[in-house]
Amino acid sequence: MKLTIREIGFLEKAIALSRKGMLSGQGGPFGCVIVRGDEIIGEGSNAVTSTNDPTAHAEVVAIRQACKTLGTYQLTGCEIYTSCEPCPMCLGAIYWARPDRVIYANTKQEAAAIEFDDDFIYKEINTPMGERKIPFIHYPHPDALKVFQDWHNWDGKKKY
């Protein structure tokens, strides 16, 4: 796919954020901008090591900022430009946010080549619970199920 000058500009902004975050010691070499129309409404660079927050990936940081800017939990009508193909966590966050599209520069294979390899997470997703590297123990509890039932029957819920 050939990008427009506008799209290339937003992608280059995400790449610049990746470099700035890396050089400042904020975190890994990843950056992201979220755009609605011609306006950047959210941006971020990886801040995992500087915030001690394993969820502070560039895309998640940018999604949080964009949603706060817009006052909504949905990014319909928005585009995400990111310096690298999103990891599984960011991919999940992107799907929950529902932007119109994602444009990225580096691939997950290129990230793996510099020791950011998410392949083991993709494999774990499809691994049966009892065989995962981190044990996941299912303990059904009637109170937990009751909360779900109450949600299902609650007229005041806000679906998302």
Q: Is 12 a catalytic residue?
A: no
- CA–CA dist 78, 40 (Å, integer): 9
Cross-strand bridge partners of residue 45: 31
- CA–CA dist 8, 158 (Å, integer): 37
The one-letter code for the residue type at 107 is: T
Catalytic residue, from 7, 39, 43, 59: name it.
Answer: 59
- CA–CA dist 29, 37 (Å, integer): 26
- CA–CA dist 134, 29 (Å, integer): 27
Q: Which residues are catalytic?
A: 59
